[in-house]
Chain A
């Protein structure tokens, strides 16, 4: 019953999306107002149908209706309710249904928020969104159908992958990732619409930028949550392994970050239009590539499931989207008229261009390293992977260079600058570089790349803080009170500018924390018998014994450790081994004691409940928590910048910097 209803909703959503896409493109050609109205109605209808289908699946999971094939596959009566809800995206078919639901929400919201405006671009944008939506509805209706009817329903099911039941972060990370990934379809639609019209007007930059920023925020948090989850659950003491699945989430983030920067150059100077459009389109294509890599079984990991017809279908869609994009770019990119040009190597726009090039190089580095093994396997049938040193040795210098530009770029003025101005802007921040590097050295940092990162970070921090607060001090000097200067100048009129520097400051912190935590990490292996105490990097670790805990869905074998430092109790850590029903092997979960300065991390490699012995791996890493906090700060800062400005349509700092075009005439 539920299965049939689900199938009907999916088929209806496919029809609604296809009809809406055709109407949208037709209205784009004929400029018919009625056509646009109907395209919008179909967009809402599609959203309602696909969201309805996903909610019906959640309902089927909650009432344990094992006659629905997906419920029979991942449902279980013995798991907690939150795991049951999370099961929606714990396996292949459900995850694509969830993808469809997020797409429905995005398309409805974007259609609603841009209604009555951007009449030039909206019909084609809706056409592109619904064309993509139609593909995913087709995928759910056919190759990835979760709504098959099971003729003889079982009484109970196996439950989702135990690794996904092990931590509450698994309930949070996937929704954020989908809200990031899927959301990039919206700016993709605007970008394609701009090319179809052959014009990227100033008025469409706002929805383009904002629709790119929102999924970027979700994606940033999702990548961090994925790393945090790996750190808290997998037990190898790290958070990033250059696993293909991790790379799949990073690739579109890199191009989106580049586009968010280049779009500012379009706003300010009317240049880099075609380049920005290309970056936005590449972002969505990388999303489709990432979906293919994680959903087709070409890479096996926590995220991928079995081989299926879904892989080739997504690959077909990727090929079609790629061809469409290339054709569109080839025929239309010349129409996007440039309104100026880059004034000189010492200008801010030149730094933006350099920043973009580095982001693109990073994208290529990661893309090549990820896709190369796939190509070799497809061509020669040999299996291999690209090892971590490749990614580290390539991305560390590029990342350091990016951090350097993060300092230099905002210090330089827009347009043409004199040598004197450049000198005045670039020399004082060196103080910040010296302070950070010296501080790091005193605290024990010796790795050259990390010291360099600290120096660049200090430089960037100086520039960022100066950009954040100098305007405020100037206002105070001219007689304004601290309150007015802060609230009116920074938080209201200068909101976007202020927000972007919050993001920059947080990015500096994140990069420093990543560099320091990975280069100053200690790793020890220890073996214990009950009651024994051993030294581990300045800590005294005592093994108190083994406890066994029976929970409804698993049996936990817990090693209990007491951690002391200088005779003082620091933490009681309980890394454990969990034996799930229906699984042969137990799965370990580490335990971490987090402080502002460093993390103390115990992973259980071996525990014997009878003999009360345990072998553990201890990781001691500084500053890890600041990675998570910095990314959250980046997201909050970016969100803050999205709040509509009090004075619509005014670029915050336009009064101080030369207006677009002013430099050419000067």
Chain B
């Protein structure tokens, strides 16, 4: 083995090491970035089951607007209750509700639980799902249906 071969091998080893270190650093940064920015798709029952974890987490909450629960708070702010037939969650939003917003309609709100025990929403979307039916009294909403709804109202299609 010549001297230059030795140098070359050393350089190659050094580069490989640098790549491995950079790769690990990148993975750590990306993983922590993801875990800090997860958005959970929850039903009102999921929200209740998660207790304290719901405070401060990014949540996409899907459910029905409860009958008679819509209250205008002045400006564009609105207060209402989202339920899935089992659990009821009070929601406050300051954004303008979309055209179709009304009682007994499937909605998805994005935001988090705040002290005071209500869900502060920064975005309110109405489901476009044509097949969606309001749940009968006392019967919980089909979970699969809700999940599909939460996925199907995408960015801006409100």
Tell me if B100 counts as interface (CB < 8 A to partner A).
yes
Q: How far is the CA of A659 from the CA of B36 in the complex (A)?
A: 50
Extra contacts, 11 of them, besides A364-B30, A387-B38 (Cβ < 8 A), are A235-B156, A236-B155, A243-B154, A369-B30, A384-B40, A386-B37, A387-B58, A390-B34, A393-B33, A605-B95, A606-B97
Tell me if A636 counts as interface (CB < 8 A to partner B).
no
Name the A residues within 8 Å of B148 (CB-CB).
300
Tell me if A549 counts as interface (CB < 8 A to partner B).
no
In the complex, per-residue mask of A390-432: 1 if CB is within 8 Å of any chain B CB, else 0:
1001100000000000000000000000000000000000000
- 3 nearest A-B pairs in the assembled complex, by CB-CB distance: A236-B156, A234-B156, A383-B41
Name the A residues within 8 Å of B95 (CB-CB).
525, 605
Q: How far is the CA of A384 from the CA of B156 in the complex (A)?
A: 18
Name the B residues within 8 Å of A610 (CB-CB).
none
Within 8 A of A (CB), among B104-152: 126, 128, 130, 147-148, 150-152
Within 8 A of A (CB), among B59-104: 60, 76, 95-100
Q: Identify A605's interface contact among B37, B60, B96, CB under 8 A.
A: B96
Q: Could you give 22 example pairs across A and B, Cβ below 8 Å?
A: A300-B152, A301-B154, A361-B26, A364-B30, A372-B34, A383-B150, A386-B39, A387-B39, A388-B37, A389-B36, A390-B34, A390-B36, A393-B33, A525-B76, A525-B95, A527-B96, A583-B128, A605-B95, A605-B98, A606-B97, A606-B98, A607-B99
Name the A residues within 8 Å of B1 (CB-CB).
none
Q: Identify A241's interface contact among B30, B60, B151, B155, CB under 8 A.
A: B155
Tell me if B2 counts as interface (CB < 8 A to partner A).
no
Tell me if A302 counts as interface (CB < 8 A to partner B).
yes
Tell me if B52 counts as interface (CB < 8 A to partner A).
no
Name the B residues within 8 Å of A235 (CB-CB).
156
User: CB-nearest residue of chain B relative to A368?
Assistant: B30
Q: Identify B99's interface contact among A368, A527, A588, CB under 8 A.
A: A588
Tell me if A615 counts as interface (CB < 8 A to partner B).
yes
Tell me if A558 counts as interface (CB < 8 A to partner B).
no
> Would A389 and B37 be within 8 Å (CB), given that A368-B30, A585-B100, A585-B128 are in contact?
yes
Tell me if A568 counts as interface (CB < 8 A to partner B).
no
Contact check, A394 vs B156: say whether CB atoms are below 8 A apart.
no
> Would A585 and B156 be within 8 Å (CB), given that A368-B30, A390-B33, A393-B33 are in contact?
no
Within 8 A of B (CB), among A198-243: 230, 234-236, 238, 241, 243
> Would A390 and B76 be within 8 Å (CB), given that A234-B156, A241-B156, A605-B97 are in contact?
no
Within 8 A of B (CB), among A567-596: 577, 583-586, 588
